[in-house]
Amino acid sequence: MKEQIIRLSDNAAKRIKQIMSKAESSTIGVRVGVKSGGCAGMSYIMEYAKEIKPNEEVIEEKGVKVLIEPKAIIYLLGTEMDFKQEKFSSQFIFKNPNETERCGCGESFKV
């Protein structure tokens, strides 16, 4: 069995379930990708997924479905996705072993 690209923490899975409960009924999961930008070169993007696109990796864990864009797979191998709730903010955190650099705001990274 090949290694799962992304693992979800319990908090991340719980938060995705909350998000999905408010999504349109045609939504099947959340899509994770990466885009160029941010102070360290790459940043993570998340959006609702209504269908599985060609070559996407689909991860079903803890009752949620996460779709990984094909071009993001190489960047995300071995990543743990977590969700952190703080007093003034809440956000998904990607604990990515491939990162060589991360900007101070935590919004972008470099591999």
Give the pLDDT confidence score for residue 105 in this predicted structure: 59
Tell me if 31 sits within 8 A of 24, measured CB to CB.
no
Give the pLDDT confidence score for residue 89 in this predicted structure: 87
Phi, psi torsion values for 99, nearest 5 degrees: -70, 135
pTM: 0.83
Domain 6-110 bears CATH identifier 3.30.1490.190: no
* Domain positions in the chain: 6-110
* pLDDT tens readout for residues 1-54: 567 899 999 999 999 999 999 999 999 999 999 988 767 678 889 999 999 999
Tell me if 70 sits within 8 A of 31, measured CB to CB.
no
How many other CB atoms are found less than 10 A from the CB of residue 51? 11
* Pairs from 36-40 (Cβ < 8 Å, separation ≥ 24): 37/108, 38/103, 38/107, 38/108, 38/109, 39/103, 39/104, 39/105, 39/107, 39/108, 40/101, 40/102, 40/103, 40/108, 40/109, 40/110
Q: Which of 37-46, 51-60, 86-95 has the lowest mean pLDDT?
A: 37-46
